[in-house]
């Protein structure tokens, strides 16, 4: 994937491995800071990005990503954090476990779903598409 395909000037490819997560997050934080976003908004973006990366690596690629053949793409376009992977289609806006019930005590909460809730709610707008074999998520940050 490149700028021609995505329209994103600041787009980097990272190996879909857990040891690449800090580098991808540092790149996004730097690009968002350069775009003029406040530190608190950048911190929210980092939380969202970490969740997206871990979900791609551990679930989308089925934990097989550490073999070095899979990748993720992270980009920034102004106030928009852009993310893509080539895992099977998965729309985090409509799929996955239901959001945890905040009225239940912690010990009664089901495992899973909290990360998807973060992805859905920490941005001011979230859009998902699946095109050309890639999941693409764009999160507007304000």
Helix (H) or strand (E) holding 137: strand 134-140
Domains belonging to the chain, first-starting first, are: 3-140 (3.30.565.10)
Q: Are 124 and 140 in contact (CB under 8 A)?
A: yes
pLDDT averaged per 10 residues in sequence order, the chain, 142 residues: 59 90 94 94 92 88 70 92 94 78 72 67 85 94 87
pLDDT score for 80 = 93
pLDDT score for 124 = 79
pTM for the predicted model, two decimal places: 0.83
Q: What are phi and psi of 46, to 5 degrees?
A: -65, -40
**3-state secondary structure at position 66:** helix
Q: Are 20 and 14 in contact (CB under 8 A)?
A: yes
pLDDT score for 121 = 72
pLDDT score for 45 = 92
Cα distance between the two ends of the chain: 26
pLDDT score for 101 = 73
Q: How far apart are CA 72 and CA 85, in angstroms?
A: 5
Q: Are 140 and 122 in contact (CB under 8 A)?
A: no
Within the chain, residue ranges assigned H as helices are 3-6, 21-34, 39-55, 114-121
Q: Which is nearest to 135 in space by CA: 65, 84, 93, 96?
A: 84
């Amino acid at each position: 994937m490149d700028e021609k395909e995505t329209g994103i000037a600041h787009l980097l490819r990272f190996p879909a491995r857990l040891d690449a997560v800090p580098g991808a997050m540092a790149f996004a934080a730097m690009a968002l800071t350069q775009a003029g976003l406040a530190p608190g908004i950048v911190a929210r973006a980092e939380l969202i990005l970490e969740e997206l990366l871990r979900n791609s690596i551990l679930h989308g690629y089925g934990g097989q990503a550490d073999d070095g053949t899979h990748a993720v793409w992270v980009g920034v376009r102004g106030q928009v954090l852009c993310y893509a992977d080539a895992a099977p289609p998965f729309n985090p806006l409509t799929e996955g476990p239901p959001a945890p019930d905040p009225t239940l005590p912690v010990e009664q909460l089901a495992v899973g779903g909290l990360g998807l809730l973060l992805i859905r709610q920490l941005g001011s707008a979230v859009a998902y598409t699946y095109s050309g074999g890639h999941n693409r998520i764009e999160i507007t940050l304000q």
